[in-house]
Amino acid sequence: MSDMLETTVEASAPGKVILFGEHAVVYGTAAISAALSDLRIFVKIRTKFHGTECDDKDLEVGKYSVTFEDFLNSDGSFTRMRKPLSDLRVLLGINGSTEFDDSIALGHQQSSSFIPSEEIKEWLREYYSDCSNPNVAQGMFAVTYLLLRLLPESLQTDRHSVDITVRSQQLPIGAGLGSSAAFSVALAAACCLLRGAAPSPWQVPDAAQQRTINQWAFAAEVLLHGSPSGLDNTTSCLGGFVFFRRQEPQSQCERLQEGALPPLRLLLLNTRQPRSTRSLVARVQALKSRLPLVVDPVLDSIHAISLRFRELLQGTGEEPDGGRSCFADSFAAVSELMAINHQLLLALGVGHARLEAVRAVCEQHGYACKLTGAGGGGCAIALVSRCACEKCGGGAAEAEARLRASLSDLGVDCFESSLGREGVMWRS
């Protein structure tokens, strides 16, 4: 990178939704997640090596700046952090090397090589302790660490500058839809892209590139969340539908082969009801400890739902009413699983009056709905269809419009997305 004048790259990654398996997955059962391919985080990086004095107001020589377009200051301007690159040189010593290691960055070493040390974590917490927005501070942790590991030469002279812009395309921030993982994946992809060349326009990285991006994204997630499962960043990176099961010594996390189901679409319904994931997980844990013979069969049933959806998706089980001849058959089969899964989650005590009000409206309009994520508020999902064939009865668009109007009356934010499809994408 030291011989270049200026380079601009951009990457994007989708949010994710848990379709089946919330809470039960903590106890070793299966969960199914899916990429929200229409709701994405974009990260653009411009780097410059200055042979002369800097004449670009947005790229100050010897500085790195990060603009978060979804976090606004009191005057309505974007939140922007700017720091001297020279401040980060101490991290090169902590990291143990001032050279870029292709064997690590290209995924040839064990994944533990990617994880930030406790010493680096402590340095980052101290360095950004003056940041008043914890979300911005965590974002800076990830940016700094990936600059250190993937672009160390940018820290070694006073003639480089790095400018990063982060923005969301309809993906709600902090709503349990994987916005932090999408940020981590897009950031990792953009940094990896700076190490080489990739075609324009937007392209999907190949399998080997995805593995490398995913490992660095997981490292960033460690800085953001401490002990992530890896499900969110894997779903965002790979796209499609992901099967996850926590096991020892290594969890099972893989993209599922598709083909037996037609394309699926969701409405993501943000109740705007705050909730604490930690307290809800603890609530289920307490219930399981108190009534194991009651709760364990509930968890087993949720596990069976995840397995049944995998069969429907891959066409390995009994097909609903003759297979894929009409969306209505698949729509009914998946809707039934959603309805049952929701009731099982209510039995675990993670429902909320706002979620039930949303579910009741969806049910009145003929749509299956379930909570997604931790529950206790947050988001719900509704499966929607625009199939206009004779068997479906037509009028799907009009029916969906009526549903949206009723949900709007409840004060619910609606976001629409296709399920599955592309994960991380990049261009230069």
The catalytic residue positions are 180, 232
CA distances (Å), 83 to each of 46, 59, 63, 86, 161, in order? 15, 12, 6, 9, 10
The residue among 158, 218, 187, 147 whose CA lies nearest residue 9 is 187
Q: Give the long-range contacts of residues 396-400, CB within 8 A, separation 24 or more.
A: 399/365, 399/366, 400/267
Spell out the residues 6+ positions from residue 220 whose beta carbon is closer than 8 angstroms to its own.
141, 142, 145, 146, 183, 184, 187, 188, 233
Sign of the CA dihedral 234, 240, 244, 249?
negative
Pairing of strands 379-384, 369-372: antiparallel
The residue among 73, 274, 67 whose CA lies nearest residue 174 is 274
Bridge partners (DSSP) of residue 49 are: 160
For residue 148, the 8-state DSSP code is: H
Q: Are 351 and 345 in contact (CB under 8 A)?
A: yes
b vs e for 283-307, b when ≥16 Cβ sit within 10 Å of the residue's Cβ?
Answer: bbeebbeeeeeebeebbebbbebbe
